Structure 1
Amino acid sequence: MTGASSGIGAATAQALAAAGATVAIAARRADRLAVLADKLRAGGTTVLAVELDVTDEEADRAAVRRVVQELGGLDILVNNAGLMLLGKIVGADTTDWTRMINTNVLGLMFLTHAALPHLLERKGHLIQMSSVAGRTARMGSGAYNASKWAVNAFSESLRQEVTERGVRVTLIEPGAVDTELRDHITDPAAKKVAVERAANMRTLTSEDIANAVVYAVSQPDHVAINEILVRPTDQQL
């Protein structure tokens, strides 16, 4: 589970633990990981916490090796680490684009590649955290849209490649969720729009998305839930 230090990642780790899973949690913020790990262990869950920047390909490979060595294998990978740096294309700070592509696309691809031999060996399950932004483009989120469309295309191509070998690939596509993603938007105008938009609807919670993950991975082996699109009832696009 990447991006496990807060939001959807932390909620999903807790939901999987509650369902009986042994959990490996990874993120850059080691202090937050430690707090989550202690909480999970207090509930009786076996936990491995790994400090990880998913944009570092060799670190991704090392993290997978450590999980397999210390926990005995890898059955489910949840690629959840991501950034949502909204803003218009004209006049954009393109360093935001680089950060998003490195994290949302390349980080996800690197970790997927590192995990695939183990998922193939155990006929495992790959969860790719995408977004409604991977299906619907909106003014003011072009680069973010591009990153999530890339996730969707990569994941569907991979699904076709591995499904007959028993590996299931699921895209989770949340709409507006009440997480700290909006807090990291660097463009003041874009941040204002995102905050106001969320304030005018009943947003999803991280637990709502965690429930979708648990639903997907708890299906029998012959059932593949390939996409789950979850929007707030109040959200139109």
Structure 2
Amino acid sequence: MSNNETRTAVITGASSGIGEATARALAADGYRVALLARRVDRITALAEELGKGAIAIEADVTNRDSIVAAAGRVQEEMGGADVLINNAGVMLLGPFTAEQHDDYRHMIDVNLLGAITTTEVFLEQLKEDGGDIINISSVAGVRARAGNGVYAATKFGLNGWSESLRQELLPDVRVTVIEPGAVATELPNHITHAATRQGVVEAYRQVEVTPDDIAEVIAFALSRPRRLALHEILLRPAGQEL
């Protein structure tokens, strides 16, 4: 148990995977958690499981009005956000063709613009008492490969924006970027390109890194003294790339 009983963490994409695991980890550390996601049934069940100090808020990071409404609830019901974890993301891999254009735009809207919009909306709350922003990126943000070009572009963009934001917001807000390799989540199931999905789903069956592993790193990063210049944590298991 840490000494973070009064801190409130807002987690996007909290209905599954890294977001869900992080909610559990931070709740165990004494945080109040605001669970943001589109799948309200899942986050409602999670909030009930976590008990007092957790609330479920239906929100879509691609819809600014939705995020503004969520921020209003966090302010009213929890006194504002101390931590923002930009976790919502999609990984729609496949060859670069015109047929995939909807996937490209969706990834940009969620992975990059969604994080930017959510941060912009919550920023004043985070500045109030010295907050934290944690952006969930990927090893694809430093090394692209065939078939993940636009996904990688969103993560390269997230990394560049985060570094600029880190320099701009210190010392009021600490910005941390986490770049996992492949993590055993449901992300591959959302791939629309059939041949790519089959291969990635099969590869992910061999993945040993779990959402709980990443949640542990997030909790560790938040536990570090703010005087430390901890702005990036890399998780790149040998031989694993996104």
TM band (smaller chain): over 0.9
1:5 corresponds in structure 2 to 15
Unaligned runs of 5+ in 2: 1-10
Aligned residue number for residue 231 of structure 1: 236
Is 1:96 aligned to residue 106 of structure 2?
A: no
Q: Structure 2 matches for 1:190-201, cutoff 5 A?
A: 190-199=196-205, 201=206
C-alpha separation in 2, matches of 1:101 and 1:51: 21
Give 1:97 shift.
Answer: 0.6
Q: Contact between 1:203 and 1:232, CA under 8 Å: does it hold in 2?
A: no
1:1-237 matched pairs, under 5 angstroms:
1-41=11-51, 45-164=52-171, 166-199=172-205, 201-235=206-240
Q: TM-score, normalised by structure 1?
A: 0.94
Matched to 1:118, the amino acid is Q
Equivalent in the alignment of 2:4: none
The DSSP-based 3-state class of the residue aligned with 2:147 is: coil
Runs of 4+ in structure 1 over 3 Å off: none
Q: 1: distance between equivalents of 2:112 and 2:239?
A: 29
Provide TM-score, normalisation by structure 2.
Answer: 0.92
1:107-160 deviations in Å (ceiling 9; x for gaps): 111000011111112110001011111111010000100111111111111111
Matches of 1:21 and 1:234 in 2, distance apart? Answer: 35
Cα deviation for residue 65 of structure 1 reads: 1.7
SS in 2 for 1:209: helix
Give the deviation of 1:48 after TM superposition.
1.3
Do the aligned residues in 1 keep the contact of 2:184 with 2:207 (CA within 8 Å)? no
Root-mean-square deviation (Å):
1.4
Q: Secondary structure of 1:88's match?
A: coil
CA contact (8 A) 2:177 2:231 kept: yes
Q: How many corresponding residue pairs?
A: 232
